Structure 1
């Protein structure tokens, strides 16, 4: 005998609610409609589904068995509805985000955590890369969103970029570095110390080379390279080595009071940190919600970062 799943769901609702009227209300149906369904089932089965003289309404063993199957369908339907509603609201789903390592480690990872505190059913998958790799990953549908520094996008790239923070690089060092004792620091004095090279492929590495050239040098004393942000900072804390970092990254470690920025302005290209996505990306509420959270987080930080910058960076 074949059953209409909707009829079993109505039976389950009546059993769950303890009455036909209450069960109908649970499903948003009318009481006569559910009564007709139960009467039709009993006629087809030739067996009663409820004990007529008992209140609240109690199912017969057959009624209970069929209601159990209907309850499973009702539960699945509710879960499906919740999934759809969660998708529409951006509170469920998966966000695949890639970004440049130093920014991801210093700033974005904390924003991911605060986003998931409010949306715990959204899973975030993070990966690392620089602009070329990130753009290729977006085009290959390996990630949905990139967070990276960009100077200019090629026309017709099929990408859209939303700036979240203006770019500014600084020379970073440990908070007890000898150069901080200088009354008037000269940029040329940076050449007296060893350097930590940013990762290969990082725009910071090109910025470091530009800085050295601007100081009239053709060589740089690289003492450490290839490390993560954490390893670079730990190395810096235990040595007099210098490195190039985005000011926002130095700001992120301000409370540890272990590293700081030297009070010297350095040349660097116009570049901004922002969100990179495909122009033709389909509707993805969870990704939109995450992107909005990142933008708001940076909006909240901008004035603090600017204040910190004005406190520690000036022309030398």
Structure 2
């Protein structure tokens, strides 16, 4: 069965408008012309797509089955047009990417800068958030690539296995925190502190829980939950809370003398980060260019190793693979 993209656009317009008249107005067609086009589409699929009611046009079971495929085909067609236009110099391609806070702080800016040096006509749209926000963005086509912690695959989201790296996470506190004067503290001592963290189910929360469990300790009581990296950093830097952050995430605040890792004895908490994409559909060309830059960046930093880069005297070491 072949589909006419123009007919599918009309079909989706009726679904969005809720009535034949409103859809015809949006499309700039007469109602009879729109009605004839839908009738031809119904003949093509072999059944009725809409039922007419006093409240408007309602999808039949066949129409409901067609809708997600029609939307997907429309997106693929638009993507193809955009990429062809970009190659002919008629428009700019758009990289739509999301990242968790630590990646948005260091890795993603480096990759974006590298891409724009090679492809100056590209434009980049970035969202920052915890993983559930990024996964939703992938599935709704708000973004095409998501950068987050490993192990987050779902039926709709797939990991890109050859684009991954590791970094270390730390218990962090403001530079004027009462524990700052101690040479060493135990992980158990931090259970009594006021913690600020992202909500349950997010990457940092799960990593912290895993780290404490490996040490035979319960999860700390979380006094403040927030999805805002800015709020969490402010609570740690200015209000006496402790937090759980990867090295790149607080590197700027460390250099400014606001936040640093606490000297927790024996603590080493690596995590793996990866690129993710939708399982269905083709990855747009602008997104593949960013992905290639991330791979190149991983390769160049891997040759330095975690203990020979410019952060040698920092608690914010990172390594790539």
Normalised by the shorter chain, which TM-score bucket? Answer: 0.5 to 0.7
Q: Provide closer, same or farther for how the CA distance between residues 297 and 230 of structure 1 changes in structure 2, counting only shifts above 3 A.
A: farther
Q: Residues 1-16 of structure 1: matches in 2 within 5 Å?
A: none
List gaps (5 residues or longer) in structure 2.
Answer: 1-82
- Is the contact between residue 157 and residue 276 of structure 2 (CA under 8 Å) also seen in structure 1? no
Measure the CA separation in 2 of the matches of 1:134 and 1:85: 32
Structure 2 match to 1:150:
150
Between 1:243-252 and 1:217-226, the stretch displaced more is 217-226
Q: Residues 1-316 of structure 1: matches in 2 within 5 Å?
A: 83-85=86-88, 92-105=92-105, 107-109=107-109, 111-113=111-113, 115-116=115-116, 118-131=118-131, 134-135=134-135, 137-151=137-151, 153=153, 159-213=159-213, 218=218, 220-251=220-251, 253-264=253-264, 265-266=266-267, 271-278=271-278, 281-282=281-282, 284-301=284-301, 303=304, 306-307=307-308, 308=311, 312=315
Measure the CA separation in 2 of the matches of 1:209 and 1:124: 34
Q: Provide closer, same or farther for how the CA distance between residues 155 and 168 of structure 1 changes in structure 2, counting only shifts above 3 A.
A: farther
- Is the contact between residue 174 and residue 237 of structure 2 (CA under 8 Å) also seen in structure 1? yes
How many residue pairs are counted as aligned between the two chains? 231
Please give the secondary structure, in 2, of the residue aligned with 1:162.
strand
TM-superposed CA distance for 1:101, in Å, is: 3.8
TM-superposed CA distance for 1:221, in Å, is: 4.5
- Is the contact between residue 150 and residue 274 of structure 1 (CA under 8 Å) also seen in structure 2? yes
Residue deviations 1:16-66 (CA, integer Å, cap 9, x gap):
xxxxxxxxxxxxxxxxxxxxxxxxxxxxxxxxxxxxxxxxxxxxxxxxxxx
TM-superposed CA distance for 1:148, in Å, is: 0.9
Q: Provide closer, same or farther for how the CA distance between residues 255 and 111 of structure 1 changes in structure 2, counting only shifts above 3 A.
A: farther
Q: Provide closer, same or farther for how the CA distance between residues 109 and 312 of structure 1 changes in structure 2, counting only shifts above 3 A.
A: closer
Residue deviations 1:57-90 (CA, integer Å, cap 9, x gap):
xxxxxxxxxxxxxxxxxxxxxxx99842559xxx
Structure with the largest fraction of helix: 1
Residue deviations 1:102-125 (CA, integer Å, cap 9, x gap):
432454246435543553421222
Measure the CA separation in 1 of the matches of 2:285 and 2:259: 38
List gaps (5 residues or longer) in structure 1.
Answer: 1-79
Q: Provide closer, same or farther for how the CA distance between residues 151 and 263 of structure 1 changes in structure 2, counting only shifts above 3 A.
A: farther
- Is the contact between residue 150 and residue 272 of structure 2 (CA under 8 Å) also seen in structure 1? yes
Compute the TM-score of the two structures, normalised by the length of structure 2: 0.57
- Is the contact between residue 95 and residue 122 of structure 2 (CA under 8 Å) also seen in structure 1? yes
TM-superposed CA distance for 1:244, in Å, is: 0.8
Q: Provide closer, same or farther for how the CA distance between residues 278 and 171 of structure 1 changes in structure 2, counting only shifts above 3 A.
A: same
